[in-house]
Amino acid sequence: MGNEVFLKLTGIRKSFGGVHALKGVDLEVRKGEIHCLAGENGCGKSTLIKAISGVHSVDSGRIEIDGNQVEKLKPIDAIQMGIQVIYQDFAVFPNLTVAENIALNGEVLRGKKTVNWKQVKKTAKEAMALVGANLDPDMRLEMLPVAGKQMVAICRAIINDCKLLILDEPTTALTDKEVQKLWKVIRGLKEHGIAIVIVNHKLDEIYAIADHLTILRNGSFVSTGKIAEYDEERFTRDMTGHDVDHAKYRPVLSKEEVFRVEHLSLKGRFEDVSFSMNKGDVLGITGLLGSGRGEIGEALFGITPPESGKIFLNGNEIKVNSVNDAIQNRIGYVSEDRLTEGLFINKSIQDNMMAASIQRYFHGIKLDTSEMSRATASLIEKLGVVAPGGDVPVRTLSGGNAQKVVIAKWLNTNPRLFILNGPTVGVDIGAKAEIHSILRELAKEGIGIIVISDDMRELLQNCNKIIVMRNGRIGEVTDNNAERIEL
Ligand SMILES: Nc1ncnc2c1ncn2[C@@H]1O[C@H](COP(=O)(O)OP(=O)(O)O)[C@@H](O)[C@H]1O
Ligand SMILES: [Mg+2]
């Protein structure tokens, strides 16, 4: 098993009005192969998938499925040839049961007038056994977590002789553990000879699951090959079109203290935490979940204030007993969960960017909206936010651009200390590098930057000092920068 090509696309082109979403894309997927399709947001991945599944008719190019060239592929043809797609929303029915979601479609498709409920349940159970999913067939889908709904969608996809299973960004809403479980299921399907295409742009996940990788950029085919042919440098270059600066952050050493904490404690969360930062420092805090790593950030921003200890900002002791205290002292904070805590996703970029500094734009009772638009435009420019303008809602932005909006919101408060928890979670590799360079620049300007992260590669590259938390205490402090320049 393995070398026989199941799907071959050559020179696929597709435009929507003036938008050239696909400009001649090739893709070759073999039976029993796990093939990752990668590329930055908007590069055409979903459009390509919809071309394979017959949802979009292509403008030109060749589609060969199982050795046969197909003209004018319709969704029903694709399904009959064994192609199944799981889109990001899974398209499951919340008010139906697990068994109904998996097997009802098949019953209806077979043109039965009455539904054989026994058969529905039996089919569903068989599919779950094959996939290795262990769900209650009578449970209503709305009761299941995202990962459960996804399993149901996979079960439904494979019951009718599936030969190619395509998953569009299947891991975005999953926890690490759920991702591992998904990979196990996918590997099982591969063993059955099913070809699998996974849209994904996270390098770590791609390394964990892919046999082959194809990279698109801006609607164009860039490269394809075995996963072993891609190291991080090549992956980044092919994804972004340029070399990303992998040089470690090496600030000029300064004796000017920016921030210091002494013996900070909060019962049950962390104990006796002391550290200091000088101008130019980007401090990393890491550790396992629950080690105190995130808890320190929340304490310094006054969400759960410390019970004892001292905090000094630019040499002066400050009290942080509430979020308001933190903001008054010009401390900015980007939480781990920007979508629920950091952003009003239905509001415009401008509303979000101005949200933490709105007082500044009041003249008496009148808001200076033209000053606000000017500030927004300059932040968009400074942070390189890709958007048609400041008035578009944040929900239309990619993860990286949304995160830049959160960062801009705090920058506009002129922070003296800026704490970021998971600053690049769910962010494209290109935008990730841009966010890192923004943080380095801010540190050089003298803003204290604290990055809380479990991404060791991110910390080693961007922080000159790293604290490892263990059981609420500082376990280790690493000076990541032996070759720092002395002033
Ligand atoms: N139905 C559509 N109508 C107009 N433009 C579209 C449509 N679908 C996608 N596009 C555009 O095509 C490009 C590729 O989009 P998409 O395939 O969704 O990218 P990806 O999945 O890689 O993020 C984008 O510029 C997007 O705005
Ligand atoms: Mg997409």
pLDDT at 482: 53
Residue nearest to atom 14 of ligand 1 (CA): 44
Residue 168 Cα, ligand 1 centroid: separation in angstroms? 13
Residue nearest to atom 3 of ligand 1 (CA): 16
Helices and strands, counts by H and E, the chain: 15, 22
Q: Is the dihedral of CA 315, 320, 323, 325 positive or negative?
A: negative
DSSP state of 82: T
The count of other CB atoms within 10 Å of the CB of residue 96 is 15
Residue nearest to atom 25 of ligand 1 (CA): 42
pLDDT at 215: 97
Ligand nearest to C-alpha 44 = 1
Q: What torsion, rounded to 10 degrees, do the Cα atoms 473, 476, 477, 480 define?
A: -140
d(CA 208, CA 195): 17
**In Å, what is the CA distance from 184 to each residue of 97, 161, 191?**
24, 20, 11
Q: Which atom of ligand 1 is nearest to the CA of 17?
A: 4
Residue 219 Cα, ligand 2 centroid: separation in angstroms? 12
The DSSP annotation for 309-335 comes to EEEEETTEEE--SSHHHHHHTTEEEE-
The identity of residue 382, as a single letter, is K
pLDDT at 143: 92
From start to end of 185-256, where are the E strands? 195-199, 212-217, 220-226
pLDDT by residue for the chain (487 residues), tens digit each? 457 999 999 999 999 988 899 999 999 999 999 999 999 888 999 999 999 999 999 999 999 999 999 998 999 999 999 999 999 888 889 999 999 999 987 766 666 677 788 888 999 999 999 898 889 999 999 999 899 999 999 999 998 889 999 999 999 888 888 999 999 999 999 999 999 999 998 888 999 999 999 999 999 999 999 999 999 889 989 998 877 666 788 888 889 999 999 999 999 999 999 999 999 999 999 998 889 999 999 999 999 999 999 999 999 999 999 999 999 999 999 998 877 778 999 999 999 999 999 999 998 889 999 999 999 999 999 999 999 899 999 998 988 899 999 999 999 999 999 999 999 988 888 888 889 999 999 999 999 999 999 888 889 889 999 999 999 999 988 887 654 444 3
Q: Which residues, at least 6 apart from 9, have a Cβ–Cβ distance to it below 8 Å?
A: 25, 26, 27, 28, 48, 51, 52, 61, 62, 63, 64
Residue nearest to atom 2 of ligand 1 (CA): 16
Query: Parallel, antiparallel, or unpaired for β 212-217 and 34-38?
Result: parallel
Residue 198 Cα, ligand 2 centroid: separation in angstroms? 11
Residue 42 Cα, ligand 2 centroid: separation in angstroms? 7
pLDDT at 452: 97
Ligand nearest to C-alpha 43 = 1
CATH node for 257-479: 3.40.50.300
Residue nearest to atom 8 of ligand 1 (CA): 47
Ligand nearest to C-alpha 45 = 1
CB 228 within 8 A of CB 441: no
Extract the tokens encoding 479. Answer: 């000076």
Q: Which atom of ligand 1 is nearest to the CA of 199?
A: 21
Q: Does the domain made of 5-240 have the CATH classification 3.40.50.300?
A: yes
pLDDT at 92: 87
3-class DSSP assignment, residue 400: helix
Mutating to test ligand 1, I would choose from 19, 167, 215, 240 the residue with most ligand atoms within 8 A of its C-beta, which is 19
Residue 208 Cα, ligand 1 centroid: separation in angstroms? 27
Domain ranges of the chain: 5-240, 257-479
Ligand nearest to C-alpha 39 = 1
Give the angle 401-405-411 at the CA atoms, nearest 5°.
135
**In Å, what is the CA distance from 426 to each residue of 29, 174, 231, 401, 431?**
27, 11, 21, 11, 10
Asked if the domains 5-240 and 257-479 are classified in one and the same CATH topology, the answer is yes
d(CA 365, CA 371): 15
Residue nearest to atom 12 of ligand 1 (CA): 21
Residue 351 Cα, ligand 2 centroid: separation in angstroms? 26
Residue nearest to atom 26 of ligand 1 (CA): 42
Residue 219 Cα, ligand 1 centroid: separation in angstroms? 9
Pocket of ligand 1 (CB under 6 A): 16, 19, 21, 39, 41-47
Residue 205 Cα, ligand 2 centroid: separation in angstroms? 17
